[in-house]
């Protein structure tokens, strides 16, 4: 039983290493495609930018596919949501 349990652990570890290596190779291939960008094409733009919104002052706001909201953005958006509260003492 101990031998089988040990073998299962080794196989799981091996699979994790293989999956990590495959993920790293895929990332390397994608990066190689972007390193030598000579012009910005619609395809490249769509890979990086999820959407663009225009703010009330006319300025653009970019939403990138690879980033999550920063802590300061989340705090500011929470404060903005509560700034109209009349009885907030």
Q: In the prediction, which pLDDT does 57 show?
A: 93
Q: DSSP string covering 41-62, please?
A: -HHHHHHHEEEEEE-TTS-EEE
Indicate the Cα dihedral angle 23, 29, 35, 41, nearest 10°. Answer: -100
Q: In the prediction, which pLDDT does 74 show?
A: 58
Q: In the prediction, which pLDDT does 72 show?
A: 54
What are the Cα distances from residue 17, in Å, to 8, 14, 25, 29? 14, 5, 12, 18
Q: In the prediction, which pLDDT does 71 show?
A: 55
Q: In the prediction, which pLDDT does 68 show?
A: 57
Q: In the prediction, which pLDDT does 62 show?
A: 85
Q: In the prediction, which pLDDT does 38 show?
A: 79
Q: How many CB atoms lie within 10 A of CB 57?
A: 5
pLDDT tens digit at each of 89 positions of the chain: 888 888 888 888 888 888 788 778 877 877 777 677 778 788 888 888 888 899 999 999 888 876 555 555 556 655 554 444 444 44
């Amino acid at each position: 039983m101990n031998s089988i349990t040990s073998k299962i652990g080794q196989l799981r570890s091996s699979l994790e290493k293989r999956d990590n290596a495959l993920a790293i190779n895929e990332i390397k291939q994608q990066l190689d495609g972007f390193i030598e960008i000579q012009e910005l094409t619609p395809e490249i733009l769509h890979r990086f930018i999820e959407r663009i919104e225009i703010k009330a002052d006319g300025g653009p706001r970019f939403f990138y596919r690879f980033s999550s909201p920063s802590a300061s953005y989340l705090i500011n958006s929470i404060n903005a949501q509560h700034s109209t509260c009349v009885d907030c003492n």
